[in-house]
Amino acid sequence: MTHFRISEAAELVGVSDDTVRRWVHSGILSVSHDAAGVQVVDGAELAEHTKTMALDAADVGQVRSSARNRFVGLVTKVAVDGLMAQVELQSGPHRVVSLMSAEAARDLRLEVGSKSVAVVKATMVILETDKEPNA
């Protein structure tokens, strides 16, 4: 069973340590202690909570989509060069970059500080893990 220290859990989810502690205090997550006596949260429980958070964030109202990989965030950069635009979105700890036509960026009224949803539909996703699994 995988466990994460509170600071590790916070980093994985993209929130502060205090937020994870509030989740523990309010009963959203349970806590146990590792061999060193440090508080840890269960990885599977953390994963379930992050799925709930993602569903809440992805509830954007009037849109239906077959894509399940939706990143709600803030636009941090819009660079228009001729016919193309590069738009950067910060979604929690994730930076998503999209290349689109300049016309599409204008039509979507994308500007720094605006809310947007990056929808990713890919045929291949590569996952990586640490060389030494977390105990």
Please write the tens of the pLDDT for every residue from 2-11. 889 999 888 8
Where along the chain do the CATH 2.40.50.100 domains lie?
69-120
Greater confidence (66 vs 117) lies with 117
Over range 109-134, report the average pLDDT: 80
Classify 23 as helix, strand or coil: helix
**What is the second-level CATH architecture of the domain 69-120?**
Beta Barrel (2.40)
CATH placement of domain 3-58: 1.10.1660.10
**Helix (H) and strand (E) counts in the chain:** 4, 7
49 contacts 41 by C-beta, under 8 angstroms: no
Res 98: pLDDT:
92
**pLDDT over threshold 70, residue 121:** yes
Please write the tens of the pLDDT for every residue from 57-105. 555 555 666 666 778 888 899 999 999 999 998 887 788 899 999 999 9
Please write the tens of the pLDDT for every residue from 9-57. 888 877 889 999 999 999 999 999 998 999 999 888 888 888 777 655 5
Q: How far apart, in Å, are the Cα atoms of 9 and each of 6, 87, 113, 128?
A: 5, 29, 27, 17
Rounded to the nearest 10°, the torsion over CA 107, 95, 63, 112 is: -40
Rounded to the nearest 10°, the torsion over CA 100, 101, 102, 104 is: -80
DSSP-derived letter for residue 26 is: T
Res 93: pLDDT:
77
**pLDDT over threshold 80, residue 123:** no
Where along the chain do the CATH 1.10.1660.10 domains lie?
3-58
Res 79: pLDDT:
97
CA distance 106 to 100: 10
In the chain, the N- to C-terminal Cα span, in Å, equals 7
Res 29: pLDDT:
92
* pTM, rounded to two decimals: 0.55
Question: What is the CA angle 61-72-107, rounded to 5?
Answer: 75
Q: Which residue has the tokens 């440090």?
A: 38
